[in-house]
Structure 1
Amino acid sequence: MTDTATDRSTDPQKAPSTPPQGGQGVMARIRSYTPTLRVQRVLAMLLLIAQGGITVTGSIVRVTGSGLGCNTWPNCHDGSLVPVAGAAPMIQQIIEFGNRLLTFVVAAAALLVFIAMVKAGRRAELKTLAFVSGIGVIVQAVIGGMSVLLDLQWWAVAIHFLPSMILVWIAAILYTRIAQPDDGTATRQFPDLIRILAFVAAVCLAAVLVTGTMVTGSGPHSGDAGVGMEGRLEVDTRIMTYIHAAAMYIYLGFTLVVAFLLHRVKAGDAAKRTAWVLLAMIVVQWAIGLTQFYLGVPRWTVPAHIAMSSVVVAFSAFLYAHGRVREGGTGTSPTGSPVGDARLAASRA
Structure 2
Amino acid sequence: MTTSQTSTRPDGADPDRATPDERGDGRMSGFWRSIPGFGRPTIRFVHRWAIALLVSNVGIVATGGAVRVTGSGLGCPTWPRCTDDSFVPHGELGIHGAIEFGNRMLTWVLIVIAIATWIAVLRYAGSARRDKWLVTLIALGIPFQGVIGGITVLTDLNPWVVALHFILSMILVSAATVLVFRMRPYPTPTEPAPADTDTPGMATRRLGIYLAGLLYAVTWVTIYLGTVVTGSGPHAGDVDAPRNGLDPDNATQLHADAVFVLVGLGLAALVYARVFARPQQRSALVFVGLLALQGVIGFVQFFTDLPVALVIAHMFGSALLLIGATWQVLVARATDQPRVDAA
Shorter-chain TM-score: what band?
0.7 to 0.9
Runs (5+) with no aligned partner, structure 1: 1-23, 335-340
Query: Quick one: distance in 2 between partners of 1:295 and 1:28?
Result: 55
Amino acid at match of 1:262: A
Q: In the alignment, which residue of structure 1 is the partner of 2:249?
A: 238
Which of 58, 66, 88 does residue 60 from structure 1 map onto? Answer: 66
Q: Which residue identity does 1:123 align to in structure 2?
A: A
TM-score of the superposed pair, with normalisation by structure 2: 0.82
Q: Which runs of structure 1 show a deviation greater than 4 angstroms over 4 or more consecutive aligned residues?
A: 24-28, 185-190
Alpha carbons of 1:187 and 1:78: their partners in 2 closer, same or farther (altered >3 Å)?
Answer: farther
* TM-score in terms of structure 1 length: 0.81
Choose from 324, 330, 340 the match for 1:333.
Answer: 340
| Change in CA separation of 1:107 and 1:326 when aligned onto 2, cut-off 3 Å | farther
Corresponding residue for residue 206 of structure 1: 220
Distance 1:222 1:286, change over 3 A: same
Match of 1:254 among 238, 255, 265: 265
The 8 Å contact of residues 180 and 326 in structure 1, kept in 2 or not, is answered as no
Q: Distance in 2 between matches of 1:328 and 1:165?
A: 27
Identity of aligned residues (%): 35
Structure 2 residue aligned with 1:12: none
| Residue 304 of structure 2 corresponds to residue 290 of structure 1 | no
Partner of 2:41: 35
Distance in 2 of aligned mates of 1:129 and 1:323: 20
Structure 2 gap segments, 5+ residues each: 1-28, 194-201
How many equivalent pairs are there?
Answer: 301
CA shift at 1:305, angstroms? 0.3
The separation in 2 between residues aligned to 1:306 and 1:135, in whole angstroms, is 24
Counterpart among 122, 125, 128 of residue 123 in structure 1: 128
**Whole-Å Cα distance in 1 between the matches of residues 53 and 210 of structure 2?**
28
Q: Tell me what 1:320 maps to.
A: 329
Aligned AA for 1:149? L
The answer to whether 1:95 aligns with 2:99 is: yes
Match of 1:197 among 211, 217, 240: 211
User: What is the deviation of 1:326?
Assistant: 5.5
Q: Does the residue aligned with 1:300 lie in a helix, a strand or coil?
A: helix
Contact 2:185 2:340 in 1 (8 A): no
Radius of gyration: which is bigger? Answer: 1
Asked whether the 8 Å contact 2:44–2:185 carries over to 1, the reply is no
1:252 Cα offset (Å): 1.6
| 1:264 Cα deviation from its structure 2 partner | 2.1
Q: CA deviation at 1:124?
A: 1.2
Match of 1:338 in 2: none
Q: Which residue of 2 aligns with 1:49?
A: 55
CA displacement 1:38-60 (0-9 Å, x = unmatched): 11111111111111110110011
RMSD, aligned CA: 2.3
* Cα distance in 2 for residues equivalent to 1:63 and 1:195: 38
Distance apart, 1:136 and its partner CA: 1.3
Q: Is the 8 A contact 1:186 1:324 kept in 2?
A: no
